[in-house]
């Protein structure tokens, strides 16, 4: 009989219970016992919701990040948190979030600690805390977290399959802080993994899921050899290993994966089935093949009939050696579609969230075990929903399709090259050296959230809401003028989210109420649902920006989210190429850019925070993506005059290897996040002469730490070794919506003071 299992479950809770518990704990308003009790209750509920599966993941729950959990399991803590008083949870959050020297937030002792570097988990919008290594790194097992969760699961009668990150992926995703070879640590690391697996075996565990998604990327001979070394050493452990890959195909790594001495192999087949037959031919006759047949990354219903057509012959051939599961952990999708009763019923009928995806697996499993007739009604309902979606006139807009077909390559070109534009912009804006600005948002206060919720509930009318938002905008402008920032922003008080805000005003989008997905730690996003062709019925930001500009003589930035980021941070329709949807978005944002310019806005920021996130995991496929992504940005940005200064912003990601494409975007100014890496991300500019202006972030807004003036000056002087000083801006890493005014004002005051010091020098 086919085994049905899951690779991971959303941990934040259907109503973001973990988020609120974490933030209450960090503020000192809740005890550790309260926080841990929320964790216990969430795990219990999530295991209940996965009942009926043959194997259920345990260890996929984390208070912040599963990679950080693995670092603590392996005893790999950064040196800067050694020696602090407090328990493991104190240190856990020190690494995750940092700790200010004032010790004003959270629990445990005082003392300044820098947060761990954060970057994207493969090509998703989930951020992980980067493991840190050096030549002296040692590992020591601490299995307490896994053992505690395993005991809870056992008491609940859960058929547990512990989940851990594999040793090669763990090393590959980490960073060597002294440039030493990461693979040199493998001999020290493997005994700890072996001890962990034997410890789990001692608890009666039969199967352990070992996640090695790095296998879907291009690996050189050294890393391929490391896989053989690792798993031949671990094969003596007393548990069965299910090696899990996801987010792509194995391709040339298929032979390597099939021949590793593990009991089973999981592959993602939601995008392609090219790996399946070669793997079956290579797998030893005792090995399990697990197929990820339901997407763990998108929210559209699975074509169950098509899946059965593909896997029924495999089930006949493999028998109980065939397992089925989601393609990856369900961490990347919301919990329950049943909570979305306000969503348009037609659109809701096309969707499946985490619980519904598990239902799809149960239908597939029953069909394989009992025959299709046992689930005939479910299959018929599934076919009807898919057919209705294909035929719906709400999905297809001929006018939008005609506009995309009519795009002229000249639409993506500025009138003049950057040097000429820079001269004209300098004459118009009259900015000082090292100009200061912020990325866009200011704190989303309790008053802002109350006004938004009251307006949404109908208890605050449009006029009252507008008045409340204008008051918050006026506050942001006053604070910025008092701080003496050079280029101001309106603060984005009216925006719930940088993507959702725009999606709500575009045709072709739908929105959930509880469709939250974890981005990092307690930060959750609610991706809009891009279901049809995209158009902009009316201006989206002009009124708010015009009002903000009326309050100051300083330049006011118009703030927009770019087409690539809107695409990558949405649940995107799967019935046409992503490039087509991106061009539709670019045309809509282009209209907004031109309207802002017509309203007198001379600085316009178009954030492409997620540009790198959309990169295919294989370099051979990068060029095609970057071509249409850069084209889409240029299409939306480059209809303006030379005098209008175009900014863009990019979030935590390693972008050194795509710097030429970033330069090809031809934004006048780019702001990037570099403070957590201590400006290491700027090393690329030793070789690449970036042609335009750049603002390397100097204030890590994801940490409560307040940067000192001296620290910012040091960072900027490091940056000036890579970028000519006359082309440098001074700015935070990212938007400030998640911070409080009490942190923001002193941090920005130090930033402005640092800029003045730099000018004087």
Predicted confidence at residue 102, as pLDDT, reads 40
Show the DSSP H helices in 638-701 as ranges: 659-664
Q: Which pLDDT belongs to residue 90?
A: 86
CA distances from 743 to 20, 106, 251, 481, 737 (A): 20, 15, 49, 17, 11
- Pairing state between β 507-510 and 529-535: antiparallel
Please check the confidence at residue 257 and state whether its pLDDT lies above 80: yes
Q: Are 289 and 265 in contact (CB under 8 A)?
A: yes
Query: What is residue 541's predicted lDDT score, i.e. its pLDDT?
Result: 97
Q: Do residues 537 and 505 touch, judged by C-beta distance below 8 A?
A: yes
pLDDT at 109: 37
CB 484 within 8 A of CB 477: no
Give the separation between CA 461 and CA 459, rounded to whole angstroms.
7
Residue 107 confidence (pLDDT): 40
Q: Which of 85-89, 123-127, 451-455, 677-681 has the lowest mean pLDDT?
A: 677-681
Burial class (CB in 10 A: 0-12, 13-18, 19+), 507: middle
Q: Which residues pair with 530 in a beta bridge?
A: 509, 572
Q: Which of 189, 205, 211 shows the shortest CA–CA distance to 238?
A: 205
Using a pLDDT cut of 70, give the percent of the chain over it.
Answer: 97
- pLDDT value at 676 more than 70: no
Instruction: Could you list the residues known to form a binding site for 5-methyltetrahydropteroyltri-L-glutamate, using ranges.
Output: 16-19, 120, 523-524, 569, 613
Q: Is residue 241 scored above 90 in pLDDT?
A: yes
Q: Is 143's pLDDT higher than 80?
A: yes
Residues 421-448 have pLDDT tens digits of: 999 999 999 999 999 999 999 999 999 9
Both structure tokens of 338: 């049943």
For tokens 């919301």, name the residue. Answer: 334
Q: Which two three-digit tokens encode residue 184?
A: 């040199």
Whole-number Å distance between alpha carbons of 331 and 124: 11
Mean pLDDT, residues 233-254 taken together? 96
Is the pLDDT reported for residue 641 higher than 80? yes
Lowest mean pLDDT, pick from 158-162, 171-175, 523-527, 589-593: 523-527
Q: Which pLDDT score is estimated for 54?
A: 97
538-546 long-range contacts (CB < 8 A, ≥24 apart) are 538/505, 539/592, 539/595, 540/501, 540/502, 540/505, 540/592, 541/592, 541/596, 542/592, 542/595, 542/596, 542/599, 544/469, 544/473, 544/490, 544/494, 545/490, 545/596, 545/599, 545/601, 546/599, 546/600, 546/601
Is residue 742 packed enough to be buried (19+ CB in 10 Å), middle (13-18) or exposed (0-12)? exposed
Q: What pLDDT does 654 receive?
A: 66
Mean pLDDT of 454-482: 96
State the average pLDDT for the chain.
93
pLDDT at position 704 over 90: no
- Using a pLDDT cut of 90, give the percent of the chain over it: 85
Residues with Cβ within 8 Å of residue 610, at least 6 apart in sequence: 125, 564, 565, 568, 569, 651
Residue 678 banded pLDDT, cuts 50, 70, 90: low
pLDDT band at 106 (very low <50, low <70, confident <90, very high): very low
pLDDT at 677: 65
Annotated binding site for L-methionine: 439-441, 492, 607
Instruction: Look at 83 and 150; give whichever has higher pLDDT.
Output: 150
pLDDT of res. 242: 98
Mean pLDDT of 115-136: 93
- pLDDT tens for each residue of 607-637: 998 898 889 999 999 999 999 999 999 999 9
> pTM score, two decimals?
0.87
- Which of the residues are catalytic? 702
Binding residues: 16-19, 120, 439-441, 492, 523-524, 569, 607, 613, 649, 651, 673, 734
Cα separation, 187 vs 176, whole angstroms: 16
Is 209 a residue whose pLDDT tops 60?
yes
Please list, in sequence order, all residues whose beta carbon lies within 8 angstroms of the beta carbon of residue 262, skipping any fewer than 6 positions away. 210, 231, 235, 240, 241, 242, 243, 287
Give mean pLDDT, residues 238-267.
97
With a cut of 80, say whether residue 24 has pLDDT above it: yes
Beta carbons of 100 and 706 less than 8 angstroms apart = yes
Residue 100 pLDDT more than 60?
no
């Amino acid at each position: 009989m086919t085994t049905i299992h899951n690779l991971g479950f959303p941990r934040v809770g259907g109503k973001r219970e973990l988020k609120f518990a974490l933030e209450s704990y960090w503020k000192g308003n809740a005890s550790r016992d309260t926080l841990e009790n929320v964790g216990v209750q969430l795990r219990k509920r999530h295991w209940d919701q996965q009942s009926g599966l043959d194997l259920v993941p345990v260890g996929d729950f984390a208070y912040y990040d599963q990679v950080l959990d693995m670092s603590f399991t392996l005893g790999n803590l950064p040196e800067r948190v050694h020696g602090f008083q407090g328990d493991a949870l104190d240190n856990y959050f020190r690494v995750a979030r940092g700790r200010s020297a004032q010790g004003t937030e959270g629990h445990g002792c005082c003392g300044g600690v820098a947060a761990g570097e954060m970057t994207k988990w493969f090509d998703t919008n989930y951020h992980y805390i980067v493991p840190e290594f050096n030549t002296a790194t040692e590992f020591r097992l601490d299995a307490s977290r896994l053992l505690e969760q395993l005991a809870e699961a056992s008491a609940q009668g859960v058929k547990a399959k512990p989940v851990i990150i594999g040793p090669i992926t763990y090393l590959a995703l980490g960073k060597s802080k002294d440039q030493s070879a990461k693979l040199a640590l493998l001999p020290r690391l493997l005994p700890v993994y072996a001890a962990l697996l034997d410890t789990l075996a001692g608890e009666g565990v039969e199967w352990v899921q070992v996640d090695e998604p790095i296998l879907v990327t291009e690996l050189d001979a050294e890393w391929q050899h490391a896989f053989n070394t690792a798993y031949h050493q671990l094969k003596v452990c007393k548990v069965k290993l299910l090696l899990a890959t996801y987010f792509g195909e194995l391709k040339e790594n298929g032979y390597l994966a099939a021949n590793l001495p593990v009991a089973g192999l999981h592959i993602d087949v939601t995008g392609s089935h090219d790996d399946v037959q070669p793997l079956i031919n290579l797998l030893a006759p005792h090995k399990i093949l697990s197929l990820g047949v339901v997407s763990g990354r998108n929210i559209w219903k699975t074509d169950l009939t098509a899946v059965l057509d593909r896997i029924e012959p495999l089930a006949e051939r493999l028998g109980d050696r065939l397992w089925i599961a989601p393609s990856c952990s369900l961490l990347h999708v919301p919990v329950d579609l049943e909570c979305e009763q306000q969503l348009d019923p037609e659109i809701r009928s096309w969707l499946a969230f985490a619980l519904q995806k598990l239902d799809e697996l149960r239908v597939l499993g029953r069909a394989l075990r009992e025959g299709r007739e046992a689930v005939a009604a479910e299959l018929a309902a599934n076919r009807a929903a898919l057919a209705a979606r294909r035929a719906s006139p709400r999905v297809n807009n001929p006018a939008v399709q005609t506009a995309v077909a009519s795009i002229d390559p000249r639409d993506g070109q500025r009138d003049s090259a950057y040097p000429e534009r820079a001269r004209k912009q300098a004459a118009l804006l009259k900015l000082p050296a090292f100009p200061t600005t912020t990325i866009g948002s200011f704190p989303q206060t309790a008053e802002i959230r109350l006004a938004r919720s009251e307006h949404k509930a109908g208890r605050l009318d449009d006029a009252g809401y507008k008045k409340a938002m204008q008051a918050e905008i006026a506050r942001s402008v006053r604070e910025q003028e008092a701080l003496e920032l050079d280029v101001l922003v309106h603060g984005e008080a009216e925006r719930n989210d940088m993507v959702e805000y725009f999606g709500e005003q575009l045709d072709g989008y739908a929105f959930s109420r509880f469709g939250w997905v974890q981005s990092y730690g307690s930060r959750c996003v609610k991706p809009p649902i891009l279901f049809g062709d995209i158009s902009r019925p009316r201006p989206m930001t002009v009124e708010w920006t015009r009002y903000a500009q009326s309050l100051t003589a300083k330049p006011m930035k118009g703030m927009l989210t770019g087409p690539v980021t809107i695409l990558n941070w949405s649940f995107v329709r799967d019935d046409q190429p992503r490039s087509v949807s991106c061009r539709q978005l670019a045309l809509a944002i282009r209209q907004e850019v031109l309207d802002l310019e017509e309203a007198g806005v001379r600085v316009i920021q178009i954030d492409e925070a997620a540009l790198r996130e959309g990169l295919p995991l294989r370099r051979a496929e990068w060029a095609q993506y970057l071509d249409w992504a850069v084209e889409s940005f240029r299409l939306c940005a480059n209809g303006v005059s030379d005098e209008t200064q175009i900014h863009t912003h990019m979030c935590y990601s390693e972008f050194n290897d795509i710097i030429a494409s970033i330069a090809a975007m031809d934004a006048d100014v780019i702001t990037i996040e570099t403070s957590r890496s201590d400006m290491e991300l700027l090393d690329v500019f030793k070789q690449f002469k970036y042609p335009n202006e750049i603002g390397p972030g100097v204030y890590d807004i994801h940490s409560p730490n307040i940067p000192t003036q001296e620290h910012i000056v040091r960072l900027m002087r490091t940056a000036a070794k890579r970028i000519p000083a006359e082309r440098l801006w001074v700015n935070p890493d990212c938007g400030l919506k998640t911070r409080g005014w009490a942190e923001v004002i002193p941090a920005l005051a130090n930033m402005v003071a640092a800029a003045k010091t730099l000018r004087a020098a």
